[in-house]
Amino acid sequence: MNTLLSQSINLFAVVLLVLAFAMIAQRRILTLIHLFTLQGAALAAATLIVGYLTGQHHLYFSGVLTFVLKVVLIPILLHRVIRRLNVRWDVETLFNIPTTMLIGIVLVIFAFNLAAPIAGLSESVARGTLGIALACVLLSFLMMIVRAKAVPQVIGFLSMENGLFFAATAATSGMPMIVELGIAFDVLVGILILGVFMFQIREQFDSLDIRHLEKLKED
């Protein structure tokens, strides 16, 4: 049973990575949100399993918290935002998608290379997945860089937080409860503020294309 469960952690980790690649490849915003929801669910499941295996009950709380926040609340907020802004079908990236995927592969290799010595020091059951977590962070970062619209950037930002959270769980069996609560709250507040910003940008430029913000530069 336990071997099966610890194998399943690796499975969820792989799911996270595949979803991160899928998000880079995805052009539609609606699908992006679905992918993000799935990523949140995988993260919550992985957290719960790590909690069960190590007997650290506070991880249950963070698992539940992740589920409520990233599978229920934030996707609902994002859905409302794109419905009201009417940007469900927006498609545009700064680079073409195959190039981005290639860069992503390089990043994954780099992340694994980087994580190898650190993983050796860790005693967590999920230590093998640290490289994947790091790769998720870098891929989400890449996604933020290559997207030209505001909503995908916000999703990239949230997905990066997922990767960080997973890294914390994988390497050190979770952060202290208070820190996790703080971060969860920050993410929630952050998404609200970013939502407001998106409405403001839209109002100012009649578009969510962040390239318009270049005009704000001081000469």
Partner 1 sequence: MLLLDWILIVIAGWLILGFAGIGVLRNTAFVARVLFPAGAALGMALAGLAFAGLLGTPETAVLAIGLPDLPFHLRLDGLSAFFLLVIGAISVGVSVFAAGYFRHGEGTPPGLMCLEYHLFLASMALVVLADDAYAFMVMWETMALSSFFLVTANHRVPAIREAGFLYLLIAHIGAIGILLCFGVLQANTGDYTFANMRAQSLSPLWASVAFLLATVGFGAKAGILPLHVWLPEAHPAAPSPVSALMSAVMLKTAIYGLLRVSFDLLGAQQWWWGVLLLAVGLATALYGVVFSAVQTDMKRLLAYSSIENIGLLFVGIGLGVLFNAYGMKALSALALTAALYHALGHAFFKSLLFLATGSVLHSTGERSLGKLGGLMRRMPWVAWLSLVGVLASSGLPPFSGFVSEWLLLQSFLFTTGLPDSFLNMLVPVLAAGIALVAALAGYTMVKFYGVIFLGQPREPKLADAHPASPLERAGLVWLGAGCVLLGLFPVAAIGLIDPVTQLLVGGGIAETVRANGWLLLSPSSPDRASYSPLVFLLVVSVAVLFAAVLVRKFYHGRLRRAPAWDCGYPAQTARMQDTAEGFGQPIRQIFEPFFRMRRELPSPFDAKPHYRVTIEDHFWHWLYLPVARLTAGIARVVGRLQQGRIAIYLLYSFVTLMVLLVVVKS
Please, what's the b/e burial string for 72-110 (b: 16 or more CB within 10 A of its CB; e: otherwise)? Answer: ebbbeebeebbeebebeebeebeeeeeebeebbeebbee
Work out how close the CB of 208 gets to partner 1 at its nearest, in angstroms, rounded to a whole number: 12
Q: What is the dihedral of CA 45, 184, 110, 38, to 10 degrees?
A: 40
The residue among 61 and 110 lying less far from partner 1, judged by its C-beta, is: 110
Among 25, 30, 144, 188, binds partner 1 (CB under 8 A): 144
Figure out which of the listed residues 61, 112, 141, 199 binds partner 1, where binding follows CB under 8 A. Answer: 141
CB 121 within 8 A of CB 60: no
**Alpha-carbon radius of gyration of the chain:** 18
Torsion of CA 76, 78, 81, 86, to 10 degrees: -110
Report in angstroms how near the CB of residue 63 gets to partner 1 at its nearest.
27
Part of the chain binding partner 1 (CB under 8 A), chosen from 3-11, 27-35, 50-58, 137-145: 137-145
Looking at beta carbons, which pairs linking 48-52 to residues 24 or more positions away fall under 8 Å?
49/5, 49/8, 49/9, 49/12, 50/9, 50/124, 50/125, 50/126, 50/169, 50/170, 50/173, 50/174, 51/174, 52/5
Give the total of residues touching partner 1 (CB under 8 A): 20
Least gap, CB of 160 to partner 1 (angstroms): 11
Alpha carbons 88 and 200: distance in angstroms, whole number: 18
CA 163 – CA 16 distance, rounded (Å): 8
Binding mask 158-197 toward partner 1 (x if CB under 8 A, else -) reads ----------------------------------------
Query: In the set 71, 146, 171, 194, which binds partner 1 (CB under 8 A)?
Result: 146
Q: Is 216 in the site for partner 1 (CB under 8 A)?
A: yes
Instruction: Assess 94 for contact with partner 1 (CB under 8 A).
Output: yes
Least separation in angstroms between residue 142's CB and partner 1 is: 8
- 97, 145, 192, 193: residue in contact with partner 1 (rule CB under 8 A): 145
Amino acid in position 44? A
Q: Print the binding letters for residues 111-130 with partner 1: x by CB under 8 A, - otherwise.
A: --xx--x-------------
Residue among 6 and 93 whose Cβ is closer to partner 1: 93
By the criterion CB under 8 A, which residues form the site for partner 1? 94, 110, 113-114, 117, 141-142, 144-146, 148, 153, 210-211, 213-218
